[in-house]
């Protein structure tokens, strides 16, 4: 009888630990592995990151932030370029928000690169939506090809790189 009680107690502890881990990964933080090169050189293929779900419970994304969102079955990671109600235009590899050139020297890889676009520019972002682009513009499926994204599909803000070990730190 004592053996059965010990097994049952161990099972309770394991179950509690698994439930707590699931709650944390679903609602607070989670681990993601970067599958594509769309954010090179800010984030590289196979980088491992811990992202936080917490900020988007109480605020909206800001321009320049790296976000994670659902696109079909996949989680994508991109940078917020345009906010609801703004007009985005692309001209000679430069991005304009409401007619003013966006300063992207901190993160952009190839600013002069053009990418096949399914969206007609200038493009006005609907309310409750965001315009996102990868930092590696020549290799990024983003709002230029699928339009703006709904606020409701944004799941996390990009956060902390945990691998490779020689590049650990906050990603911005």
Distance of CA 4 to the CA centre of its chain: 47
Could you tell me the two tokens for 108? Answer: 């952009």
Active-site residue, from 5, 12, 38, 94: 38
Q: Residue 129's closest CA among 141, 111, 146, 107?
A: 146
Could you tell me the two tokens for 44? Answer: 């590289």
Tell me how many degrees the CA angle 24-170-132 measures, rounded to the nearest 5: 85
Residue 38 appears among annotated catalytic residues: yes
Active-site residue, from 78, 140, 143, 148: 78
Residue 78 appears among annotated catalytic residues: yes
DSSP E strands, the chain: 29-33, 48-52, 66-71, 74-82, 87-91, 94-97, 100-101, 123-124, 129-133, 149-150, 154-163, 169-170
**Residues that are catalytic:** 38, 78
């Amino acid at each position: 009888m004592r053996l059965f009680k010990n097994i049952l107690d161990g099972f309770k502890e394991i179950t509690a630990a698994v439930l707590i881990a699931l709650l944390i990964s679903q609602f607070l933080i989670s681990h993601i592995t970067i599958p594509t090169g769309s954010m090179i050189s800010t984030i590289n293929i196979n980088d491992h990151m811990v992202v936080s779900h917490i900020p988007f419970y109480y605020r909206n994304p800001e321009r320049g932030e790296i976000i994670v969102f659902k696109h079909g079955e996949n989680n994508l990671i991109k940078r917020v370029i345009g906010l609801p109600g703004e007009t985005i235009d692309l001209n000679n590899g430069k991005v304009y928000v409401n007619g003013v050139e966006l300063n992207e020297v901190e993160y952009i890889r190839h600013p002069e690169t053009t990418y096949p676009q399914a969206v007609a520019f200038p493009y006005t972002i609907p309310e409750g939506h965001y315009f996102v682009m990868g930092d590696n513009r020549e290799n990024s499926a983003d709002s230029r090809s699928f339009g703006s994204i709904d606020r409701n599909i944004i799941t996390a803000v990009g956060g902390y790189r945990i691998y490779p070990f020689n590049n650990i730190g906050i990603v911005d």
